[in-house]
Amino acid sequence: MSDRIRNWKVLYNSYTGMQKKAVELLYKEIGTQYIRDPGVYLHHVIPCEKETPATCLDKNVFVLGTWEESPTIQRFIKREEIPADGYLVKVMANPDNPDLHIVILTGDTYREVFYAVVDFIDDYAPKGAVFQSHLYYPAKFMYGPWPDYYRASAPKIKTRSIFTWGHPINDYREYIENMARMRLNQLVIWNDFVPLNAQDVVDYAHEFGIEVLWGFSWGWYSGRNKRDIDFAHLEVLTKEVIEQYEREYAHLCGDGIYFQSFTETSEEAVNGVVIAQAVMDFVNATSGKLLAKYPNLKLQFGLHATSVVKTTKYIAQVDPRVEIVWEDCGAFPFLYEAVDINNGMNFEETSEFVQKIIDLRPGAPVGMYYKGQMVMEWGAWEYGAFGHQTGPYVMGVTSQETKEEDLRTNRTIWKSFQSDWIVYGKNAYNMTRMVLEKTDGNVNVGMAGQFSGKIWYSTAFTAQLLWDCSEEYEAIVDRVCRRQNLQLS
């Protein structure tokens, strides 16, 4: 590789927080084309310099930092060009030496600087790779020439989340890194028992600007796994919930708790008790007591629409301090399988229902989970394929062999899910645009699934929708499919 190709350096302004993560991601990804020569045992490095007012742009440079701290960024970018909560990427020739390039990677905060690096690596670089004789040569990207590029971008949806179970997370660090790579910012983890390394998981997520909410049951009642609940004495259950929170979660530096209660069923009433009314009374009583003691506690109520479709008047009375995150709201993208006809609702009816729940509690936080992703094997009740956790455990720390085995086992079913998203993905696109128009982005839209191991098309496509659904549908598909970290099969 010629000296001209290696005539690059990285200028950073702070090696802390997410700017540190941004430098490391850039170094790792660019390094695949830079620091080794195929077949030659020769090691190179990319020089990284802390920028100062005297820094010389004597090489091709990547410049990372916020506008406030970088003299180089201030020279070439106006502050108002960087959108609030967003980032800016600019690839340009050096005006003082047109043979050299300047790549500006900046954002509103360090988190958005990281997102700028993601944009450059995942969306710009693949289009700069060399196609020759119908073959793809990503390593030749570094040879250039590099086309000019300018992209200023900010999230359309404020909270972009994932709900998952602790069981299938084989590598929590990789999982969180993949979330950050997709610009997701909230993770809800459901467990039967709190992991021994729960605090480590929270700390690592926070390094990437991701909130963590721990999920546990508040008298969970499923159509498959019905628990005997004394609806006449719910104050006993309230006491149990508060004791569990204080015993297991209050000491963790998480960002809140997520709970489910009574609603995961197609039944509207149980033994003459209207589920919507009972859950409203119970949630209000329990959350009221919790918030009286912990006024800054974030509470999310995972509510399955199947049991309350006709009784939402009760749900409208849920404490406005509690964020309701809706599931099973009708047709795809709220179904695990796109062709499933559960609930008997088509896309238009689903859209009308979603608009209704957005308007249900004016001023109160609201969210919803898309499905159509890989889940746990719920066939346990019939086939013994699923095992509940039997005690506290170490989450997301497994061997490479275990990860490879799970990937081999799940690969076929992931093809089915991804096929659904290729065929029906425009439903999610249209739904997201409607939700954005209805809420101006002040909403939580997420995915329910397990996602472990790779960045799959269906997950990456949904994440891109949540970041920016203003592009044409075909442009989003093209953007996502070109990413080199995408797993399609």
Q: Alpha carbon of 489 to those of 164, 274, 407: distances in Å?
A: 22, 45, 10
CB 330 within 8 A of CB 307: no
Q: What is the reported pLDDT for 17?
A: 96
Q: What is the reported pLDDT for 218?
A: 93
Q: What is the reported pLDDT for 270?
A: 84
Q: What is the reported pLDDT for 159?
A: 98
Q: What is the reported pLDDT for 371?
A: 93
Q: Alpha carbon of 45 to those of 12, 125, 144, 225, 369: distances in Å?
A: 16, 20, 19, 56, 43
**pLDDT tens-place string over residues 188-209:** 999 989 999 999 999 999 999 9
Please state whether 433 falls in left (phi above 0), alpha (psi between -120 and 50) or beta.
Answer: alpha
Domains 8-153 and 159-487 belong to one CATH topology: no
Phi, psi of 93 (to 5 degrees): -75, 145
The SS3 call for residue 86 is coil
According to DSSP, the residues that pair with 446 across neighbouring strands are 161, 369
Q: Alpha carbon of 218 to those of 126, 189, 239, 251, 315: distances in Å?
A: 46, 15, 11, 19, 16
**pLDDT tens-place string over residues 29-77:** 988 777 777 777 778 888 999 999 999 999 999 999 999 999 999 999 9
The full set of domain ranges for the chain reads 8-153, 159-487
CB 189 within 8 A of CB 181: no
**Which residues lie below 8 Å from residue 29, measured CB to CB, with a gap of 6+?**
121, 125
CB 375 within 8 A of CB 450: yes
Q: What is the reported pLDDT for 385?
A: 62
Q: Which residues of the chain have pLDDT under 70?
A: 1-5, 128-141, 143-144, 221-228, 339-344, 378-386
Q: What is the reported pLDDT for 290?
A: 97
Show the CA angle centred on residue 127, arms to residues 65 and 441, nearest 5°.
60
**Which residues lie below 8 Å from residue 383, measured CB to CB, with a gap of 6+?**
none
Pinpoint the alpha helices (H) of 232-274: 234-244
Q: What is the reported pLDDT for 222?
A: 63
Indicate the fold that domain 159-487 takes in CATH: TIM Barrel (3.20.20)
CB 253 within 8 A of CB 207: no
CA 236 to chain centre: 36
Phi, psi of 132 (to 5 degrees): -145, 125
Q: What is the reported pLDDT for 433?
A: 98
Q: Please report, to the nearest 10 degrees, the dihedral formed by the alpha carbons of residues 439, 440, 444, 450 taken in order.
A: 110
CB 64 within 8 A of CB 28: no
Tokens of 343: 């609930």
Second CATH level (architecture) for the domain 8-153? 2-Layer Sandwich (3.30)
Q: Please report, to the nearest 10 degrees, the dihedral formed by the alpha carbons of residues 337, 341, 343, 344 taken in order.
A: 150
CB 418 within 8 A of CB 487: no
Parallel/antiparallel/unpaired status of strands 87-94 and 97-107: antiparallel
What b/e sequence results for 286-311 when a residue is b if at least 16 CB atoms lie within 10 Å of its CB, and e otherwise? bbeebeeebeebbbbbbbbbbbbbeb
- Could you give the CA distance from residue 396 to residue 111 in angstroms, rounded to a whole number? 24
